[in-house]
Structure 1
């Protein structure tokens, strides 16, 4: 149990001795979260963390070139939670720059009750040599490690537009995960102003306001929990919502993001659909939903298959030339709207 937070009834499956073939042939195609126990237990960084916080700081500090990273800091009154203020007019944390060595030194100093974090520190740029010493056993070397260095903290439920392997280096981590289809029951925050780029759920898992968020119990029934100790890893599939709790004072996680299919502006398509479709009369929205299903979401009957290949246009495969024509059409259509 995590103090202050409930525990979902369902736990993520746990596997041991996961190799590259099993990961890409079975785990990734299944599209479900999986804990991989001890995946990076042999990393020198993990061995140093198990020895002592100072040993970990010495290991990471040896790679630091003094380049600045973004650091976020909350007041003690926020209980380590990175989020919005009550009025949603601003974020509840401050931003400044520092080096990784400065962040690590602050982790070892006496706590003043505030939470702070250096997030998504790209190892090749900021800590060159870390990846050579601590290589991923699953993804290729061209997928960079990113480090998340923090005190005890809570990152609000959000999603990423990548597949993700999250590897605990130091400190325990609790993940609570929700499948993508639970988005309507998680009550998204502002799309234009987010804590870290992706929309977050407005529901506090430690104190859900069910009058304000009445559908949240449906999401909670689908939630899964994953607890990581140093050396463990978690596969988080594309767009799975995840709430992250760092449970120890010296908390370091390395993650690997990758996407087999380059993003073609899917979020922009969502925003355009909001502008163009959402406020239409219900009868018209249902009609558009049928067309979206036929042209975008019907995997069993791909659009355009009934047409000659040379006449399928955007209903057929989108090569580079077709994508450019489609972009030109969008620009022309939006300029006329």
Structure 2
């Protein structure tokens, strides 16, 4: 399918028809580039219900949310064009606020807003609401039959919105239930051409690009033209899914007066963050003299990036390897303790 709105680029994400669990494990989960799986969840009860329109979608979701906790909802005024972002020239705040709302209240308000002219419509967006907490009946009624490593289903419910270009630290499978979505994706190595915002004060989790893919200011952000040369677009409708490898950058547009997406991030230890390692390296290494930085670059290559890095301590007796030992929960706790102790020194 192709959404009628102009796309940032003509390049498209590879597509294929829905796959079974074995094919997903062997051919999809090992990919390092995105792929669209057309009709992957077209059989879901939620997708079939959404074919009946906004009110049918709301009625179906309401039936699954009995006993669920209120969810966090991002709220933006009509003037911000659906783009959740920073506010002010100095990025002193955000152009939206957050409130807690029960699912039924959110859905009722979305239905009310569907009759409001688009230019006067507030934008509501419940993002990454975990199904077990907020829609207890979701997983049983809409089971994912693909191996995603114990991932928890998360619901994204709102009206027309834009999510700024960002990355996820884990492999992502995103499934459209209602409405349409456009993903504009960039490879991980385009980080330097995307002009990231603050690393320590983000919109929601990972840092985001400052460039608007729908209206890029190439005078202010000239390297973005290079990123755009590597971008690919995927348009998804109800029942479609997209597999996004970890660290791929993606900008997401949601179309429709009531749109729903369910995604799955492959389970991983979020307390062990490569991003935080980068931030720590900025403090410890970035501003050193060039010769010292070159020396530490060799350390990073030897202990982290080289193909044989995991064997860097093999010349030591196993009991003496400490943090150089193989990956394990014990090693993680050992490294965490070592780092905490070092950071607390004055």
Give the TM-score range, shorter chain.
Answer: over 0.9
Is 1:322 aligned to 2:325, yes or no? no
Instruction: Give the match for residue 54 of structure 1.
Output: 55
Is 1:132 aligned to 2:134, yes or no? no
Q: Determine if contact 1:157/1:244 at 8 Å carries over to the other structure.
A: yes
Q: Determine if contact 2:148/2:265 at 8 Å carries over to the other structure.
A: no
Q: 1:60–1:211: structure 2 CA closer, same or farther, 3 Å change rule?
A: same
Shift of 1:303: 4.0
Per-residue deviation, residues 78-134 of structure 1 (Å, max 9, x unmatched): 111000113200010011121111111122212232211111121111111111111
Is 1:336 aligned to 2:339, yes or no? no
Shift of 1:46: 0.5
Q: Distance in 2 between matches of 1:326 and 1:301?
A: 16
Q: Determine if contact 1:64/1:128 at 8 Å carries over to the other structure.
A: yes
Shift of 1:284: 2.2
Instruction: Give the match for residue 107 of structure 1.
Output: 110
Shift of 1:327: 2.7
Q: Which secondary structure does the structure 2 equivalent of 1:21 belong to? A: helix
Q: Distance in 1 between matches of 2:317 and 2:229?
A: 45
Shift of 1:260: 5.0
Q: Distance in 2 between matches of 1:306 and 1:78?
A: 56
Pick one of 93, 97, 105 that aligns with 1:94.
97
TM-score of the pair, normalised by structure 1? 0.93
Shift of 1:33: 0.6
Q: Distance in 1 between matches of 2:143 and 2:314?
A: 48
Gaps spanning 5+ residues in structure 2: where?
A: none
Q: Distance in 2 between matches of 1:231 and 1:49?
A: 10
Q: Distance in 2 between matches of 1:147 and 1:324?
A: 32
Instruction: Give the match for residue 230 of structure 1.
Output: 238
Shift of 1:244: 0.3
Mapping of residues 1-337 of structure 1, within 5 Å:
6-65=7-66, 67-87=69-89, 88-109=91-112, 110-111=115-116, 112-139=120-147, 142-259=150-267, 263-300=271-308, 302-304=310-312, 307-310=315-318, 311-336=320-345
Q: Out of 195-204 and 255-264, give the one that drifted further.
A: 255-264
Q: Distance in 2 between matches of 1:244 and 1:47?
A: 23
Q: Distance in 2 between matches of 1:267 and 1:100?
A: 33
Q: Determine if contact 1:40/1:137 at 8 Å carries over to the other structure.
A: no
Q: Distance in 2 between matches of 1:324 and 1:98?
A: 38
Number of residues of Structure 1 aligned to a counterpart in Structure 2: 337
TM-score of the pair, normalised by structure 2? 0.91
Q: Determine if contact 1:148/1:253 at 8 Å carries over to the other structure.
A: yes
Question: In angstroms, what is the RMSD of aligned CA positions?
Answer: 2.1
Q: 1:302–1:126: structure 2 CA closer, same or farther, 3 Å change rule?
A: closer
Q: Distance in 2 between matches of 1:324 and 1:121?
A: 29
Q: Determine if contact 1:36/1:233 at 8 Å carries over to the other structure.
A: yes
Q: Distance in 2 between matches of 1:175 and 1:86?
A: 26
Q: Determine if contact 1:5/1:205 at 8 Å carries over to the other structure.
A: no
